[in-house]
Structure 1
C-alpha cells in the first residue's frame, strides 16, 4: 500500500494517489485500483483577490500540465481547502467538463463560490462539516467497494479542522484517511482471495503514545484491515491544539498513526495586523504537528516563488526555510537542543515531481 504525492504547480496544487496493496487485474491506468484526490488546482492564469490593484499573484514556475484533462484519470475527489483564488481557482476548475463526475468537496465558503459558477452538477458538490470530536456526522466518508464479492469495503474520510477566532479564514487543516478494501491474495491458493480476520489487541505496553494524550496508537502488524494511510493538509498552518482532538480520537481509532504525510508550509509569511497578521505559520508551526504525529514525510506546501503584486502585499515579510533547516529543526528541536533524530523525510517538490511513501 502506498501514497504518491505529485506536485502540479510546485505550490499548493497536488494529486494524491492512494494505492491499495492488491488491485483488481482489470483496473486501468498507471496506479491500478487507486483512489485519487486533486487538491486546490491552480495551473493557468493569475490569482486575483478583489482586483489587480489590491492583490494579484502569478506563478513563476511553469506547472507540469496546462489543462486538468491531461491527468491520466478523472480524479475521484476534488478537494478545495478555502475560497481564496489561489486555492479555488475558477479558470482552472472550469477546464473540467460540465458532466464531470468527480466529487467536489470544499469548505462552506468555497462551496458557495463554486456553486455560483453554475458549471458543475449540483449533486456532486458537497460542503465539509466542521469536525467535532465524537460526532461521526462531522466526518465526510466515502465507501470503497471490495475487488471481490467476499471482500470487505474500504473507506476514505475527510475532516475539516478550522482554527478558532481566525478572522482571515486561512488557518485550518484538512485531515484525510485512506483504508483500502480488505482483501489479499491467498499465498496457499493464488487464484483466490481470502477475507482477513480482525487483528488481535496489542500487547500491554507495546503501543506508541501520542504526546500529552491518554490515547494510544494501536499497531496492527497482523493484517491490512486496520492499516490506514493519513494526511494532514494545512498550507497556511494551524496550531497542533486545533489538530489534537482529531488526532487523539479519529486517527487513533482508525490506526492511522504515525501520520503518513504532512503537507504544510516551510516559510513564515507575515502581514501587518490590519492586513490579517500571520499568513503562514511555516516551519515553526509545522514542527509541533510533525513531531507529535510522528509524520513519515513533511512535504512543502505554499512555498513556491510567485510574482506577487498589489497594495495588499507591499508590506508582506517572508522568512524562508530550506529543506536542511527544517530537518535540523525536527532533529534538534526549536530550542536547538539535540534530541533523538526523527525519521521524518523533509521534501520540497518542483512541478511534476513525485514523492512515494510505502506503508505495509
Structure 2
C-alpha cells in the first residue's frame, strides 16, 4: 500500500517552538527530511536561556520543563525555513537563533519587527532574512512562495507558501496568524502509457475578478466550502496563531488561497488553549485561547488542533504581576468542541485535540 504524504509536528520546548516536517507521498516515514521534496520549517525556536523584555525587573521568563535539545545544532538537518512570528524574545530569541552558523543556508521569514531585530544582530547573511508582507486578498505578491523541484525531470514542481495575517488595530502586535501550505513535487504515472510520466502544471492562481466562483461559494456567510478534489495531489496546510486572532482576519485567506490550493480541510491548527489577560493599560488580551480556537477549528475543518504557547513557565517581573491565566486541558477543549452547533458540530467531531510535551511529535497523513 503506498505511503501518503504527511506532516510531522514535533514540539521542541513544549510551548511555541515547533519543527514541521512536510513529506511527499513517496518519502519513507522513517526519514522524511532526507527525501527530495521534503520540507522542514523551524518555528519560533527558544531552547536556551531566559526570555527578558527590557530588563529582568520588567519581565523575566524561564521554561520550567527542559527542551528536548540543548542546541539547534542537534537538529538532524538544517531547516529549510525558519519562521519567527513576532519580535518578543520568547519567539525571537537571540541566544537560541545565534546558535546557527552565520553561513546557515536556512531562509528566515518573520514579521517586519522581528526581521528588523534579527538584522540588528548582524549574525545572518542579509539575503536570507526576509520580512513578510501583510496578506492581501487576490494579491499573489503578498504570499511568499518557495518552489520545490521534482525528483526527476519528468515530474512537476511543488510549492510551499507562507502568509502573514495580522489583526487590524492590534496595539499589542500579538494577534495574528501565519498560513503555511505545502504541495509536494509530483511524479505521476500515465494510465494510458505505462512507464511514462505525466507533467502536471502548477495550480493557477484564483482569478481576482471572480471572488464568488464555484470553489469559493459558501452556503452561508459563516461557512467555507472546500474545493472539490481534482487530478492533482491535495495540499497540506497549517495555521499557526500562538496568541490567537479573530476568524474574520483569517476568512479572506481561507476563502481565496486555501480553497484555490485545495488546502482544506486544514491539516493542523497550532493555537493556544489557555486564555491570558492583562489589564487594558498593559495591553488587555494576550491570548484568546480556546474560545478563539473554537471559532477557527470547525470553520476550517481542522484535522488537528495542537496546543501552542501554553507551557507552564516561571514568570517574574512587574509586567506579569497583573496577568491572569485561564487554563484549559485537552479534555475540556474536546468538550467545548462537542458543544458546537450545526455544521460546526459536524466539523468539530473530526478535529483531534493534541497537547505535546517537549520531544513529542504528532504525525498527520494526508493527500
Normalised by the length of structure 1, the TM-score is 0.91
Query: Which residue of the partner structure matches residue 79 of structure 2?
Result: 75
Query: What are the residue-to-residue correspondences of 1:14-53 with 2, within 5 Å?
Result: 14-23=18-27, 31-33=34-36, 34-53=38-57
Number of equivalent positions: 350
Match of 1:246 among 243, 253, 269: 253
1:32 to partner: Cα distance: 2.1
**1:278-300 deviation per Cα after TM superposition (whole angstroms, max 9, x unaligned):** 00000000110001000000000
The 8 Å contact of residues 105 and 128 in structure 1, kept in 2 or not, is answered as yes
Cα-to-partner distance string for 1:157-193 (whole Å, 9 max, x where unaligned):
0000000010000000000000111214568999764
Picking from 235, 248, 263, the partner of 2:270 is 263
**Distance in 1 (alpha carbons) for counterparts of 2:259 and 2:102:** 39
CA 1:169/1:207 → structure 2, altered by over 3 Å: closer, same or farther? closer
User: How many angstroms apart in 2 are the aligned matches of 1:21 and 1:54?
Assistant: 49
Q: Is the 8 A contact 2:176 2:244 kept in 1?
A: yes
- From 297, 303, 309, give the equivalent of 2:304: 297
TM-fit CA distance, 1:303 = 0.1
**Counterparts in 2 of 1:80 and 1:197: CA distance versus 1, 3 Å:** closer
Corresponding residue SS for 2:130: strand
> Aligned partners of 2:63 and 2:202: how far apart in 1?
48
Q: What RMSD over aligned residues (CA atoms) do the two structures have, in Å?
A: 2.7
2:224/2:300 contact within 8 Å kept: no
1:143 corresponds in structure 2 to 147
Structure 2 unpaired stretches of 5+? 204-213
**Contact 1:48/1:55 (<8 A) preserved:** yes
Q: Deviations over 1:73-121 (max 9, x none)?
A: 0000000000000000000000000100100001000010000000000
Task: Give how far 1:194 is off.
Answer: 3.9
Determine the structure 2 residue equivalent to 1:132: 136
Structure-1 residue corresponding to 2:228? 219
Would you say the 8 A contact 1:82–1:110 is kept in 2? yes
SS state of the match for residue 35, structure 2? coil
Residues 1:192 and 1:71: Cα distance change in structure 2 (over 3 Å): farther
In structure 1, list runs of 5 or more residues that go unmatched.
Answer: 200-204
- Asked if 1:169 is matched to 2:190, the reply is no
- Does the 8 Å contact 1:23/1:32 carry over to 2? yes
Is contact 2:235–2:261 with CA below 8 Å preserved after alignment?
Answer: yes
TM-score normalized by structure 2? 0.89
Structure 1: distance between partners of 2:223 and 2:174: 30
2:284 aligned residue (277, 288, 297): 277
CA distance in structure 2 between the partners assigned to 1:236 and 1:30 by the alignment = 29
